[in-house]
Amino acid sequence: MSKIAIMGAMPEEIAPLLEKVENIKKIEYADNNYYEATYKGKELVIAYSKIGKVFSSLTASTLLEKFACDKLLFSGVAGAINPDLKIGDLIIADKLCQHDLDISIFGHDFGFVPEGAKFVESDERLRSIAKEVAKKNELILIEGTIATGDQFVASNERKAFISENFGADALEMEGASVAVVCDALNVPFFVLRAISDTANDDAGMDFDEFMVSSAKISAAFILEMVEKID
Ligand code: 4EH
């Protein structure tokens, strides 16, 4: 049976999970807290990484290498780029990229470095489980590209750059770094985000208003998926 890692970036993104799981055991490691737990007979390790690509890489690596998780699910919130995505809507990443990675002066595409890839694809099987859960609950679930960078985007200009260069549907600050780690270690991973804002001038205010409710939407969906993972 698998041992499933579930991570978020902020405390609010994992709090709704910790409320529902059982047999929680807290372990401190590398200046962070990891929560071993069970849910409907499944073994879980839950953590929030802190914000951004570096902290999320560290947490993903720890979940896989120290805790020996063999699948990783990310749950959290994101800013929307695709105008079909409204606050509270769900998106799953079919692929992820780093919108702030730039060695274009050497003729490379934005988001590309030698021996890396512009896009990292998430696990198809986990995506199909997500689609089953969405269908059963009659929820709309968009599948698309998620762009990650070490910046909270609150500008139409930056959104347009990310849309034009990556065709991204949503943006956040951790997904692609987690994807790179899982891909390198050959561990199936999945990124789910509920929209908290649209990354425009109002993003800061919208985020403050909607992040908790959107984080709950994402976490509830993830727990339904856990039941279906063998
Ligand atoms: O973990 C960071 C959080 C914002 S920073 C990335 N998360 C939320 C996703 C996200 C996002 N990322 C970039 C939602 N909307 C986004 C956007 N741009 N517009 C943060 C938030 N609150 C306090 C401190 N830092």
pTM tops 0.95, yes or no: yes
> What token pair was written down for 119?
């896009």
> What token pair was written down for 192?
């789910």
49 lines ligand 1 (CB under 6 A): no
Catalytic residue list contains 206: no
Q: Side chain identity at 101, as an amino acid letter?
A: L
- DSSP, collapsed to helix, strand or coil, labels residue 99 as coil
191-211 tens-digit pLDDT: 999 999 999 999 999 999 999
Question: From CA 217, how far away is CA 152, in angstroms rounded?
Answer: 21
Residue 1 clears pLDDT 90, i.e. is over it: no
Q: Where are the domains of the chain?
A: 3-228
| Distance between Cα 1 and ligand 1 center (Å) | 34
Mean pLDDT of 150-157: 98
Q: Which atom of ligand 1 is least distant from the CA of 9?
A: 1
**Which of 73, 79, 17 lies closest to 192 in space, CA to CA?**
73
Please say whether the beta carbons of 221 and 139 come within 8 A. yes
> What token pair was written down for 36?
């071993």
3-228 maps to which CATH number? 3.40.50.1580
